[in-house]
Amino acid sequence: MKYDLKMFNTGQVTIPKKWRSQFQTDRFTATETRGGLLIQPVMEKRHDEKTVANHLASLLEVDEGKLLTVQLSHDPKDPSVLYKTEEWYGIYFPDGISATEMLQTLDAHIKK
């Protein structure tokens, strides 16, 4: 979902109510990219599968009911989330990941 945001003369931008309540956080990061700004919620703690499913559904732009599986890692140091829909599956890395770490994580999930 896409929203047009207005910047006030103080430099503040209002995050739409739907997003503020959906992500259950009051902190967001803004990252400058080649395409402009990327605004992401800061997930300060590990959440339950329901919260992660809600977040993933929003990112993937699918209804939460389309997520068949959301599996959190059992290792608290590993924030990756395995997910599956009717059409595809993947691993979500909420904080980003290097290529080496991604290959190691994929290998670990494949061995399970």
What CATH number corresponds to the domain at position 13?
2.10.260
Please provide the average confidence, as pLDDT, over all residues in the chain. 78
Q: What is the pTM of this model?
A: 0.42
pLDDT at 45 over 60: no
What digits encode the pLDDT tens for the residues 63-106? 777 777 777 776 666 777 777 878 777 877 777 778 888 788 77
Q: Do residues 26 and 54 share a domain?
A: no
Q: Do residues 81 and 100 share a domain?
A: yes
Let me know: does 94 contact 79? Beta carbons within 8 Å: yes
Q: Do residues 58 and 35 share a domain?
A: no
Q: Do residues 32 and 51 share a domain?
A: no
The confidence score (pLDDT) of residue 8 equals: 92
The confidence score (pLDDT) of residue 9 equals: 93
Sheet containing strand 81-85, edge to edge, reads 67-72, 81-85, 89-92
Amino acid of residue 26? D
The set of residues, in sequence order, having a beta carbon less than 8 Å from that of 26 and lying 6+ positions away, is: 20
Q: Do residues 72 and 31 share a domain?
A: no
The set of residues, in sequence order, having a beta carbon less than 8 Å from that of 107 and lying 6+ positions away, is: none
The set of residues, in sequence order, having a beta carbon less than 8 Å from that of 87 and lying 6+ positions away, is: none
Q: Do residues 63 and 112 share a domain?
A: yes
User: What is the domain extent for residue 23?
Assistant: 1-44
Q: Do residues 55 and 110 share a domain?
A: yes
